[in-house]
Chain A
């Protein structure tokens, strides 16, 4: 999906400052949310790709508003509500009660975790398919406009690059995030000249993007 999360190359964000004394977690709730985010995947019967998609599905204001762990918190809640582990509105109601409001919490709903087969732990898989591309080959990124989860950044869509290396095969996040199967496939690091991405006046650099085989096509 095209969304707020797909930030590569977008303008208007200002500059970045490094705080060398930054702690691992700046606030206690950041630490709790980090742990709750990890736990939410197992508790909701989902997976990391679904978690990333839950982040992407947030309203842009929600994605940015409470910062990094703010969005983790909302994503965790989204997965748990989607799976019926928590009722919609349950977290909001409890949070209001915690600050003294008289709010009725919603009744529990039926748990309905997604059912899907996993081919093993983690994301990497051994597959027998012959790789479609070899290192050094020129490829084009397909003009795909998927409404759901994908790991193809918009800034490479339709662009021409060169296969730098083949990496271990992995489950396709576009499928696993939606629990439709693993569709494990080859993954390639594709090299793009910055002028191919940002026009002839681009600052010179080379950009490497990891792309799943089904995102790519041969070029004539």
Chain B
């Protein structure tokens, strides 16, 4: 019989993490500075603001929008965004008729160069399980109620392609600058679980 991996006296994960880091640094297998560098990159440099700039540019620049939909990876790289989990990025355009939603049912694949690391809800088993089966119901529970005549397309990131949603530009945003538009675009809208709205 399998030993219970949840034995009552097991050391908590935080201590195990400390133990693992100690063992690896003592042996010279990893360097603390390298670990710090990974963390700093995703806390300070790479996050959804990158994606928001991509979206805002696509909203104001029709040529860029065409390039983005044709070759997501290349157009995103024009703005300087590339790296791990972004080898091949496919951009999905939301319209009045079509709503796109991205999930990874097998793990947590996510386009890091444009969105940073995935939020908790994206990694939640409920999201991973239900997005491919009852997306409309799930989205409504998450705060996005879609009209019945909107078709839902769900994209399961099961290989190394990474998906990124170009949300609908909100009504009332006509006079805004590219920078002001970028400030409206949320992480959740670029995964497909929220709409972009003009703040009141």
Contacts and interface: CB of A to CB of B under 8 A. Distances in A.
Interface of A: 5-11, 13-20, 22, 24-29, 31-36, 38-39, 43, 52, 55, 58-59, 61-62, 64-66, 68-70, 73, 76-77, 80, 85-86, 90-92, 94-99, 122-124, 151-153, 155, 167-168, 170, 173, 187, 189, 194, 197-198, 202-212
Interface in B25-50: 27, 29-30, 34-36, 38-39, 42-43, 47
Nearest to A27: B14
Given A29-B13, A68-B120, 18 more contacts: A6-B105, A13-B130, A16-B141, A24-B43, A27-B14, A32-B39, A34-B42, A36-B17, A73-B16, A80-B20, A94-B22, A95-B16, A99-B11, A151-B158, A204-B151, A204-B152, A207-B153, A210-B159
A66 B16 CA distance: 11
Contacts of B119: 18-19, 22
Contact of B126 (A13, A76, A95): A13
A209 B158 contact: yes
Interface in B73-117: 87-88, 90, 105-108, 116-117
Question: Which 5 pairs from chain A and chain B are nearest by CB?
Answer: A8-B105, A95-B11, A94-B19, A210-B159, A35-B35
A35 B154 contact: no
A16 B127 contact: yes
5 contacts: A13-B125, A91-B16, A153-B106, A167-B159, A208-B153
Contacts of A194: 133
B132 interface: yes
Contacts of A70: 13
B39 A35 contact: yes
A207 B154 contact: yes
Contact of B34 (A11, A14, A39): A39
A99 B12 CA distance: 10
B106 A29 contact: no
A159 to B, nearest CB: 12
A73 B116 contact: no
Interface of B: 2, 4-6, 10-11, 13-24, 27, 29-30, 34-36, 38-39, 42-43, 47, 87-88, 90, 105-108, 116-117, 119-121, 123-130, 132-138, 141-143, 151-161, 186, 188, 193-194
A206 B132 contact: no
A73 B13 contact: yes
Nearest to A121: B87
Given A24-B117, A39-B24, A13 B129 contact: yes
B131 to A, nearest CB: 8
Residue of A25, A38, A43, A152 with highest tally of chain B CB at under 10 A: A38
A43 B24 contact: yes
B125 A205 contact: no
Given A36-B20, A55-B107, A187-B159, A9 B133 contact: yes
B156 A153 contact: yes
Nearest to B148: A204
A163 B121 CA distance: 30
